[in-house]
Amino acid sequence: MDLIVGATGILGNVICQDLLGKGRKVRALVRTSSDSDKVAALKEAGAEIVIGDLKDPASLDAACDGVDAVITTASSTLSRTEGDDIETVDRLGQMALVEAAKKAGVNHFLFVSFPQAGREFPLQDAKRAVENAIEQSGMTYTILHPTHFREVWLSPALGFDTAEGSVRIFGEGQGRISWVSLLDVRDAVVNSLDNAKAHNRTIRLGGPEALTLLEVIERFEKQAGKSFDREILPLEALEGMHGGEDPLEKSFAALMMVCHDEGCEIDNSDAAEILGHRPSSIDEFAKQVLG
């Protein structure tokens, strides 16, 4: 039995559906506030639905009972209810899940995190604390470090709205990033299960080439056969966000500054050897988005 924490999120949901399609037994942890249509679809596909919350340790104990593997993709960054934040969910909640899994005798704990960025920020601090707890737990683990998801960072939610003919550039947009598809990350998660080569490893994941945000926009413009209006979020604004008090705003600002100049170029050789990682290209993604 595989427990998926974050089962109605953008990554957790496609992991659930893929595992169910492969005939695996899946238990999906959902909250009372979770999207009812997504919960119904998971149940119809054959998932066992269990109600719980990373902020409720007792519910995690029940969710982990009888489970072989725990896969957690949950985060407060894109979906939040009252009481959710980086501290309560991404740090304390995930650490409570590690403890519950350890007590339940879970065989394999799989955590989706992200690569180290140069600037400090609360989300990164939380991820590293959880990774340390996992490594010290005594459980067999796999930690995945995918870089920026195309489906999030190259989407209208963050100002990349090609349907409306406009795109947003963070700072100078010169950081070279191996933009990765969440579907390729899904495949890496699934291929980590029952895979001894992935045990007790931290594995980085990226797309097949590292491109600046400006180069990505050029690829989309070439595919669309037209230019897009460009909105620039200047470095001064990003630094102001990063220097503020809101942990989520600080975290997004730091990740935006990776797009500005720092970049995140991934060597996929380990992921290819261990997980068969063969990521799709930005050009394929652009074609899909533009229809």
Mean pLDDT over the full length of the chain: 96
Mean pLDDT of 105-122: 96
pLDDT of residue 83: 77
Residue 235 has pLDDT above 70, yes or no: yes
Q: How far apart are CA 228 and CA 83, in angstroms?
A: 39
Q: How far apart are CA 265 and CA 178, in angstroms?
A: 5
173 CB-contact burial (10 Å; exposed 0-12 / middle 13-18 / buried 19+): buried
pLDDT confidence band for 78 (50 / 70 / 90):
confident
Residue 80 has pLDDT above 70, yes or no: no
Q: pLDDT of 147-184, one tens digit each?
A: 999 999 999 999 999 999 999 999 999 999 999 999 99
Mean pLDDT of 4-8: 96
Angle, vertex CA 204, rays to CA 89 and CA 247, nearest 5? 30
Q: pLDDT of 55-77, one tens digit each?
A: 999 999 999 999 999 999 999 88
Residue 269 has pLDDT above 80, yes or no: yes
Mean pLDDT of 223-231: 96
pLDDT confidence band for 211 (50 / 70 / 90):
very high
Mean pLDDT of 125-150: 98
**Tokens 């050029």 — which residue?**
218
Residue 131 has pLDDT above 90, yes or no: yes
**pTM confidence score:** 0.95
